[in-house]
Amino acid sequence: MRAEPQFAAVSTRPGATVVATDTFTLLKVPPPAELVGLVLDIALYRESSGKPIRQVETASLVVPLLIGFSDPFEIALGRPPTAQDGYHSFTSGLCLTPVNIASAGACSCLEFTLTPLGARRFFGVPMSELTEQMVHLDQLGDRSLDSLRQQLGNEESWDRRLAIAEAFILGRMRAGPPSSGAIRWAYGRIVASGGGVSVAELTTSLDWSRKHLAARFHEEVGLPPKAVARVARFMRAQSLARARTESGWADIAAGCGYADQAHLARDFREFAGTTPSAWLAGT
């Protein structure tokens, strides 16, 4: 198998951040200005140890679009993956469980981290079709995506891979169906409030029924607004814990609107598969 190229040229891009360990290198770059709000970041990832690696991604409000170039990842939602769970290139809708990832230490990929509204625009399908699903890209029957994967795999420069992929994403976003202004507003309110805004506030402001709001969220986001708010609140708790601006988990729970610390712990068990303290120790 051909050796994967280095990240040297890409790492000089404005805003690029690099995490390098003895097992992998992860380079993240911000999206082009036109993709802000649709794409959160772009990641280039390469493993180098040849030894097994295990990772857990907690539930979040992102939709990955990943194109692999070497060994597959083994990925499963809410359970340990097996050899039957191999994915080279894939996407996955929103889910309410942790994502368990295993690799043999020789994976390499390019990943666009899409917002749910960006994913709806890119794929052009109801996001409910991807909810709680791992989907091989070749299952989508999208010939342009198949051609992109082949083209990127043939490139010997990460800088070229990134430029080609960005141009492809830009073209798809420009041509894709935009989300409705009402859903963009409601989703933005949930995220900006850290899950603090109530569904009643949203329906009152939009003059919609709860049923209609839930149906539109299923279509354009993939989860009902209450579930989106729960994940947004969980992500806010994670952010506060990482920043260590609060004195303890009880204060974080209160600051994020949980009924009590036990309520927060239940969400961590559901969304991260572990306790708050164990999750923080592993970050």
DSSP letter string over 42-93? EEEEEE-S-S-EEEEEPP-S-EEEEEESSSPEEEEESS---GGGEESSEEE-
**Does the pLDDT of residue 57 top 90, yes or no?**
yes
Q: With a cut of 70, say whether residue 252 has pLDDT above it.
A: yes
| Lateral strand order in the sheet of 73-77 | 53-57, 99-103, 73-77, 86-87
Average pLDDT over residues 199-217: 98
Split at pLDDT 50, 70, 90, the class of 6 is low
Domain boundaries, the chain: 10-175, 181-281
pLDDT at 247: 78
Predicted confidence (pLDDT) per residue in 154-164, tens digit: 998 999 999 99
Instruction: List C-alpha distances in Å: 136 to 15, 64, 84, 145, 233.
Output: 30, 12, 13, 11, 30
Beta bridge partners of 87: 73
Query: How far is it, in rounded angstroms, from Cα 102 to Cα 145?
Result: 25
Look at the block and give the residue holding tokens 């907690």. Answer: 58
Q: For the structural domain made of 181-281, what CATH number should be given? A: 1.10.10.60
Determine the CATH number of domain 10-175: 2.60.120.10
Percent of the chain with pLDDT over 90: 90
**Residue bearing the bigger pLDDT, 89 or 1:** 89
Asked if the model's pLDDT at residue 4 lies above 80, the reply is no
Q: pLDDT tens digits, residue range 23-37?
A: 999 999 999 999 999
Q: How far is the C-alpha of 33 from the C-alpha of 48, rounded, in Å?
A: 32
Q: 7 pLDDT exceeds 90?
A: no
Phi-psi region of 207 (alpha: psi -120 to 50; beta: other; left: phi over 0): left
pTM for the whole structure? 0.94
Angstrom distance (rounded) from CA 197 to CA 193: 6
Helices (H) and strands (E) in the chain, counts: 10, 11
CA 150/CA 170 separation, integer angstroms: 18
Query: Which pLDDT score is estimated for 9?
Result: 65
